[in-house]
Each structure stands twice: as structure tokens, then as C-alpha cells.
Structure 1
């Protein structure tokens, strides 16, 4: 992908993401107010990702451990090619830790009570629950057309009497991306979709399929790890070799009684010459004349 990622929105047009105060206490776990009006009013999102137009190269393409940009998935990233995350769909060759989703967010041990959030650690989060539909004769094909943009769909089940549907993707990371991309979006009738994680299907056939899928995910995770290590090894070999300066040979240990001056700039011969020069200088130094008593001006009573 040689095309640089484009800026999806103007930063000045981004709305305040703080939810309006509809209660007395703000719940940091659910990111909403509690203790007030509990009515569910969903507003259609102003942004939507266009995979064909918005996908492109970012700074994250230089790293093998980068994750997908969450705001790119929501269609509102204003950094473009300067973004530190990937602006593209996740794929099978990507490695995402089992404890995180494709956006790098940590999973929780179990699903939240409202089935929203990142997802559960002990489950394969490949099925999403879509509500707020306006059922019609072509609802299944409409859902397939809108959601297949984000991955391979394995199954779609529409409950017409409840105006909802269950969409199962081939891979978990595809469901993670589709959940964020289609949250509060519309299909063809200007409806506002609410997307949550689906509970496990009690059908025995589905349980067997889940078990088989879990084994497949485990094998693919190991393969991706091995491929990632091989790529890192190949990149390290292509880099310029590090120049290592040779170490200086260690000086031999001194034997007992050996003079340390032998390894200095003054060896034994030079010290002998200096001693002779010093002695010769002392011999050539002029001696002071003997001092005589000055008796001039001296007198005695006997004279």
C-alpha cells in the first residue's frame, strides 16, 4: 500500500465526545450517566469509514506490532499519514494478542452486562447483535452488502418479529472492526443501528463449530508468531552490521617482586642514564671559596 492515508475529518469539526449529563453519577465502566433518565436515545453518527478511500499508509506501517486505528474504523481520524496506527482492515497475517482486540484495547474477563465494550477473554467474539432494524423483504441482503465491507460473513440470522439480526464473521478481528465501524450507522432506511456482542448460541452444532474454530485460532496464532519472528530476523540481517572494535590484549600479571616501572615510559636503562647525569651535574657545581675572618678595624688594649 503505497498511497498515504488521507485525513478523514477536519479536527475543528469533531464534536465533544463527553456524553450529556442525564443522571446523577457518571459510571466510568459503562461511560454513561446513571441515576437519571434511562431512556435509550441513539443519534446517527456524523462519520463513517470508507475503506476504499480512507485506507492508506501511515507511520505504523514501519512496525510489525502496530494495531488498527480505532478512529479510522469510526471514520473520524484527523491525523492521516501521520497517525501512529494502521489505516486499513485487519487481516489474517496480523498478530493480535489474545488479551487485546485489533485496536489494541484490553479485553475483559467476561462480557459487560449490556454486552458492549471490547469483548470477553474466554469467548470467541465473532458474532455481533444488530438491533434497530426496519425489517423488509431484502433485510438479509442489505445487511450483507453493508457489513461485508469489513470482512467475510459466515452467517446472517434475521429475527423479523424483533427487528434485530445476528451476524457471524469468519474471524474475530473482522467482527471487532465491524462493530465499531457500524455503531450508530444507518443502512438504507435511515435507521440508527445499535450493535452489541451476541451471547453464545445454545445450538449443539454451533457449540461444535465454536470448538473447532478455537482450535483453528490457536494454530493460526502460533503460525503468525513464527512468521513474525522470521520477519524480525530477516530485517535484522538486512541492517548494517555493527562494527565491533577489537579489545586490547590484557596486560600480563606482574610476578611478585617485579618492578612496575618496567612497563612505563621510563625503563631501566633510561633511569640509569638520568642517575649518571644527575651525579655529573653535582660534580661540576662550583664550590664556594672558604670564608676568612675579616680582622680589619680590630684593636686590643695590649697594642
Structure 2
């Protein structure tokens, strides 16, 4: 089936209320010259629903995945040049680039956001600001399992954080973009970034 147009027209940046002068870079999620730790958490204005939004586009089988699609805001639908689906085991992973085709770097960003490091095979996400402490593990699994096969979920209920590990890096990359600024079951605004250390190596 053809991919669904998630929005009727392009949306502006979804994250960060500080908007410095300059060009906004959608690939890196910040403005030109913006410091890596200058953005504040802001609720996402759209959300991807894979069962509803996935479909065929004009992309070649080996094209990168669509970043706006992951964020729920691609207005091109079947005319998009990128893939509109969840990464699978059949998709090759490149060490130098993430699943969206963005270049990975030697070092992680200071705030553990961004595309990650090509020197570290990180498949684990830090998920903070969760407001479901009583059944946190089940809630986190429900929302993050739709982005790929989970390897493990470790919840720390007193701190309201969770470490979500995927079997494949590309699924972790996709989930990080798809769930940034989203809510689980209680209207929170999630803080999703790369885990500094994998609690389940």
C-alpha cells in the first residue's frame, strides 16, 4: 500500500524553544551555531503510528529511512525519496551513518543526543521523565516495542527512568527520534537520549 501523508504541510522544528538566528538543520536537530546543550524539552507536535503510516514510497530498497516519518510529520507520503517503515534485520547497517543517512561522529555529543559515535555500537536508550512508576516496565515496553525487537528493558522506578536496549542499532536510532518529546500514558514529555553506559552489556 502507498505510504500515508502524515501531515498536510511541513511542520517546523519539533524540539527546543530557543531558536537562534541561522539555518535550522533537520538532520542534526538544531540551528546553525546552536550549542548542543541549549535546547529545552518540548512536547512533540506529531507522532508516527507505524501500523497506519507505513507504506511504499519512491525510495530504493537501500535508501535511508525518512526522519520526518519517524517523527510523524512527513507530508510527502508516497512521493518521499526515503523509506517509510520500521528497520528490519534485512536492512544493512552502516558504521559511518545512522539509519537516516546522517553521518556519525567519533565522539558522542555532550548531552548524549544526536546521531551517536561510530566508535561505539550503542543500542541502548536512556528514557527519563517517566510518570508511570507503578507499572513502568510494562508501559515502557508497550511504547518502545513498536520500533523494533527489544533486547531488554531495565527500569529504575524510584528515579522514573528506564534503559531500553534493542537487538539492532538501527531500531534504537529510529526509536530515539520517534519517541523524543513524546508521552507514554500520563502526558509526560520524555527525555530520550543515548545511554552513557549500557546497563545490560
Would you say same fold, with TM above 0.5?
yes
Distance 1:19 1:156 in 2: 27
Distance 1:72 1:23 in 2: 25
Structure 1 unaligned segments of length 5 or more: list them: 207-303
User: Deviation digits for residues 89-121 of structure 1, max 9, x if unmatched?
Assistant: 111111232111111111010111110000111
Distance 1:57 1:175 in 2: 22
Decide which of 79, 83, 90 is 2:80's aligned counterpart.
83
Give the alignment's TM-score, normalised by structure 2: 0.87
Corresponding position of 1:186: 183
Structure 2 unaligned segments of length 5 or more: list them: none
Distance 1:77 1:22 in 2: 22
Corresponding position of 1:172: 169
Aligned length: 196
Distance 1:131 1:148 in 2: 17
Distance 2:120 2:18 in 1: 33
Corresponding position of 2:7: 9
Corresponding position of 2:98: 101
Corresponding position of 1:46: 45
Give the alignment's TM-score, normalised by structure 1: 0.59
Tell me the CA shift for residue 44 of structure 1: 1.2
1:112 maps to 2:112: no
Distance 1:127 1:153 in 2: 10
Name the one with the larger helix percent: 1
Q: Map 1:11-30 onto structure 2 (within 5 A).
A: 11=9, 14-15=11-12, 20-21=17-18
1:161 maps to 2:163: no
Native 8 Å contact 2:134 2:157 kept in 1? no
Find the structure with the greater CA-based Rg. Answer: 1
- The alignment's C-alpha RMSD in Å is 2.7
**Which gives a bigger RCO, structure 1 or 2 (Cα 8 Å, sep 6+)?**
2
1:151–1:17: structure 2 CA closer, same or farther, 3 Å change rule? closer
1:15–1:161: structure 2 CA closer, same or farther, 3 Å change rule? same
Runs of 4+ in 1 over 4 A off after TM superposition: 16-26
Native 8 Å contact 2:15 2:181 kept in 1? no
